[in-house]
């Protein structure tokens, strides 16, 4: 039986206008668009828990924190969430924290959380509200430190439910200038398990001082006590190896007029990003801000919970999926926690199966330096043979070595039927999928995605998925080994442009609790070979998940084009959507580049792509329409490959027209979408690509034969040309 909250399995992450179209979403007006966030979702039989937030994919995408805004429809829906959601408590042996130590939460019945901030920000009122669920009637100044205790439940919904005690240490906020003030407070900083940083939303200085408080608590304060440290002086790398979870809380929200709240909360929103922490803004004199089921209460519970409880809610299994080494810096660390009905290890042994046209043998035919072009790849007729996504995979070209995690492959998929009780996962690398004909309904362990032509999706290494199709379907795949796709650096472009992080979508949690009497087939591509194993249940039994290692999709129409507005032709790198970087700065294993509709206004300029010989390999495909440099022969569903240093450029007809046309602002590529997979590697074409496919255009070179010399040695301006 299948349970689904939203048919297409994706949630909107767009601008407020888009948000308002979904009235069941609840967003604070001050939602920070710049947060580097991960995701936590939960689907149950009756409802779907999910979090919506701005997503900043860096290093696919350098998401460094687990900060989310939960929206729940009723208070009683919260019961499953805390132990399934964000908990990033330290998982390291006890060790010196100069002078304190950081302890495992899993082994403790009592934990210590510091509450830090300037005097008068409301720390005592906050602690009282957290521990007593009541407003503090007569707050007073804290001298030294005050300790209150909160009883926290975990393993909720299980017979083994128990509690542990959280000591909230409210440290006096005097900022004095003498070093003795800091040394006196140091005695409170031993054996810390978490830190809550508190600032007054009406006091800018208290917000800026959070940097000093955080550095002092971690004994990394290299500036004299009392000297203001601002975010301009603050280096996030100082927290790159920090294992202590942080929470940022802004108080006195009631004292800000509603017309000013957006401005104030936007000003303080960067704090959560800088500290890799969640953010809560509240009024300590109003208990409803921490009412059960509210998003603030969820964040508090998530701050105190942990990833791997002894028994998960609903008796699920906790399983981590890692997309990076454990020891990668936080900014590039990629992992997600999956809470599932059965762990993915529950299967029979893998056995080798027929490879079809999937290969990693780059030596099966000799190299060919010629310009290559393929007619549209033929889709098998469903009336003749049923072919699903995996059976319809055809490797066209590639380079590198899978075993050393270095290289790429380009595949074509041609299918006419859905995957029935079959799923696929790739142990070798990430798939960037570009559908050209037909929609793809992709089931993943994280939820479902509907991906249509003119959209792309990325299914990262190790993620299981199954694809349903609705007609004869065709598309392209760029596979990269050992690296992940990420957004390109923008450099002088600035903070905005090209593919914006907010336009990437991830699935909402979805699951099926389904037995498969005949066995469910799990297919794995490992070291370029295909293997299959049987299991008795659907692999899409993940009830909830959180993390930053997910599949995602993107609509190419959302690409913000950068182009020349004066003269000359800019390089195609300005159209890069995603990149998979190599170890050499500025050089990619692969770039995904598009040529979208745009304005052409460059004056006294040959506007089509220039003639070129490139140290990179360029594979081009066409989703719809026609490519501006070649009106005929290069068709949707086909492709071309121009290898390293192989000359290429506009055909003769394009050159003649573009050289003589009267220049005026014009629309370019309307109704079309061409793309390019560009690589620093020398790509070898497979036997299927050169021979078996029967789609290679043997006459491609003829499009340049009509080119003629226009050289006029006695006149700088050739007759008949602009």
Sheet holding 145-154, edge to edge: 145-154, 162-171, 110-116, 194-200, 246-251, 278-281
642 has catalytic annotation: no
Measured CA distances, 276 to 237, 260, 272, 513 (Å):
11, 26, 6, 35
Tokens, residue 188: 């409170």
Pairing of the two strands 552-555 and 542-547: unpaired
CA angle 121–280–495, rounded 5-degree value: 110
Contact 76, 293 (CB under 8 A): yes
By C-alpha distance, which of 71, 70, 57, 52 is closest to 12?
Answer: 52
User: Is 30 a known ligand-binding residue?
Assistant: no
Distance CA(722)–CA(719), nearest Å, equals: 8
Helix axes 204-217, 258-268, angle to 10 degrees: 30
Residue 223 backbone class (left: φ over 0; alpha: ψ -120 to 50; beta: rest):
beta
How far is residue 465's CA from residue 522's CA, in Å, rounded to a whole number? 9
Q: Looking at 569, 626, 642, 710, which residue is catalytic? A: 569
User: Partners of 630 in the beta sheet?
Assistant: 627
CA-only gyration radius of the chain, Å: 29
Annotation-wise, does 612 bind a ligand? Answer: yes
Q: Determine if the peptide bond prior to 99 is cis (ω within 30°).
A: yes
> DSSP state, 691?
I
If we measure between CA atoms, which residue out of 565, 561, 538, 464 comes closest to residue 507?
A: 464
Q: Does the CA dihedral 45-46-49-52 come out positive or negative?
A: positive
Distance CA 352, CA 479 (A): 21
* Rounded Cα–Cα distance for residues 356 and 412 (Å): 13
Do the beta carbons of residue 266 and residue 111 sit within 8 Å? Answer: no
DSSP helix/strand/coil, 146: strand
Distance linking the first and last C-alpha atoms of the chain: 68
* Contact criterion met (CB below 8 Å) for 185 and 216: yes
Ranges of H-type helices in 151-281:
179-185, 204-217, 258-268, 270-274
- Flag whether 648 is marked binding: yes
Alpha carbon distances (Å) from 677 to 82, 375, 380, 716: 42, 17, 25, 38
C-alpha–C-alpha distance, residues 202 and 252, integer Å: 7
Q: Is 481 annotated as a binding residue?
A: no
Residue 30 structure tokens: 């001050």
User: How far, in Å, CA of 450 to CA of 468, rounded?
Assistant: 10
For residue 535, give the nearest of 555, 550, 515, 565 by alpha carbon: 515
DSSP state of 332: G
Burial of 12 (0-12, 13-18, 19+ CB in 10 A): middle
Place of tokens 């190790």: 462
Instruction: Say how many CA atoms lie within 13 Å of 350 toward its Cβ.
Output: 15
The annotated binding site for Fe cation is made up of 612, 618, 648
Annotated binding-site ranges for homogentisate: 627, 648
Binding residues: 612, 618, 627, 648
Return the active site residues: 569
């Amino acid at each position: 039986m299948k349970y689904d909250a939203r048919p297409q399995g994706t949630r909107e992450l767009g601008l407020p206008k888009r948000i308002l179209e979904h009235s069941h979403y609840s967003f604070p007006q001050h939602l920070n668009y710049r947060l580097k966030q991960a995701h936590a979702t939960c689907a149950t039989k009756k409802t779907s828990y999910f979090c919506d937030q701005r997503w900043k994919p860096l290093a696919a995408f350098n998401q460094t924190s687990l900060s989310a805004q939960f929206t729940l429809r009723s208070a009683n829906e919260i019961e499953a969430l805390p132990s399934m959601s964000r908990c990033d408590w330290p998982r390291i042996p006890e060790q010196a924290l100069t002078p304190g130590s950081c302890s495992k939460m899993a082994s403790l019945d009592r934990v210590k959380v510091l509450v830090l901030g300037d005097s008068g920000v409301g720390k005592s009122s906050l602690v009282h509200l957290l521990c007593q669920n009541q407003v503090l009637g007569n707050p007073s100044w804290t001298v030294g430190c005050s300790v209150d205790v909160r009883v926290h439940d975990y393993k909720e919904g299980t017979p083994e439910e128990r509690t542990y005690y959280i000591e909230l240490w409210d440290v006096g906020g005097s900022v004095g200038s003498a070093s003795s003030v800091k040394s006196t407070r140091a005695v409170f900083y031993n054996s810390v398990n978490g830190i809550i940083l508190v600032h007054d939303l009406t006091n800018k200085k208290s917000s800026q001082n959070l940097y000093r408080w955080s550095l002092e608590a971690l004994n990394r304060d290299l500036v004299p006590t009392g000297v203001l440290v601002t975010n301009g002086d603050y280096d996030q790398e100082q927290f790159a190896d920090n294992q202590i979870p942080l929470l940022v809380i802004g108080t006195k929200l009631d004292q800000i007029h509603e017309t000013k709240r957006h401005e104030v909360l936007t000003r303080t929103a960067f704090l959560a990003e800088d500290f890799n922490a969640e953010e809560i803004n509240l009024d300590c004199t109003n208990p409803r801000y921490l009412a059960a089921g509210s998003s603030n209460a969820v964040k508090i519970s998530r701050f105190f919970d942990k990833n791997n409880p002894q028994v998960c809610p609903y008796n699920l299994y906790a399983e981590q999926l890692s997309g990076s080494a454990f020891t990668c810096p936080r900014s590039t660390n990629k992992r997600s926690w999956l809470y599932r009905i059965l762990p993915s290890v529950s299967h029979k042994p893998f056995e080798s199966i027929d490879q079809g046209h999937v290969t990693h043998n780059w030596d099966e035919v000799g190299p060919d330096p010629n310009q290559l072009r393929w007619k549209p790849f033929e889709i098998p007729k469903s009336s003749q043979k049923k072919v699903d996504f995996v059976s319809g995979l055809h490797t066209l070209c590639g380079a590198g070595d899978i075993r050393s995690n270095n290289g790429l492959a380009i595949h074509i998929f041609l299918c006419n039927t859905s995957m029935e009780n079959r799923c696929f996962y790739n142990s070798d690398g990430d798939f960037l999928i570009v559908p050209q004909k037909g929609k793809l309904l992709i089931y993943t362990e994280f939820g479902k995605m509907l991906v249509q032509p003119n959209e792309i999706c990325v299914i990262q290494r190790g993620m299981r998925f199954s694809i349903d199709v609705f007609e004869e379907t065709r598309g392209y795949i760029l596979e990269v080994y050992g690296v992940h796709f990420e957004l390109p650096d923008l450099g002088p472009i600035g903070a905005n442009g090209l593919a914006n992080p907010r336009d990437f979508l991830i699935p909402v949690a979805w699951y099926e609790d389904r037995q498969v009497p005949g066995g469910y087939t799990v297919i794995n591509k490992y070291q370029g070979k295909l293997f299959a194993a049987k299991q008795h249940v659907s692999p899409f039994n993940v009830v909830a998940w959180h993390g930053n290692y997910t599949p995602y999709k993107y609509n190419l129409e959302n690409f913000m084009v950068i182009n020349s507005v004066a003269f000359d032709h800019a390089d195609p790198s300005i159209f890069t959507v995603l990149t998979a970087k190599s170890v050499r700065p500025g050089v990619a294993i692969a770039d995904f580049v598009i040529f979208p509709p745009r304005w052409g206004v460059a004056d006294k300029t040959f506007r089509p792509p220039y003639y070129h010989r490139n140290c990179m390999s360029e594979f081009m495909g066409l989703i719809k329409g026609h490519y501006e440099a070649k009106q005929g022969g290069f068709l949707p569903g086909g492709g071309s490959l121009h290898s390293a240093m192989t000359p290429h450029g506009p055909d003769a007809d394009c050159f003649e027209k573009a050289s003589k046309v009267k220049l005026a602002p014009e629309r370019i590529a309307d109704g079309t979408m061409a793309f390019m997979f560009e690589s620093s590697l020398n790509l070898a074409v497979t036997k299927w690509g050169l021979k078996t496919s029967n789609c290679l255009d043997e006459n491609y070179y003829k499009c340049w034969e009509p080119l003629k010399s226009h050289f006029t040695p006695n006149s700088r301006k050739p007759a008949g040309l602009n």
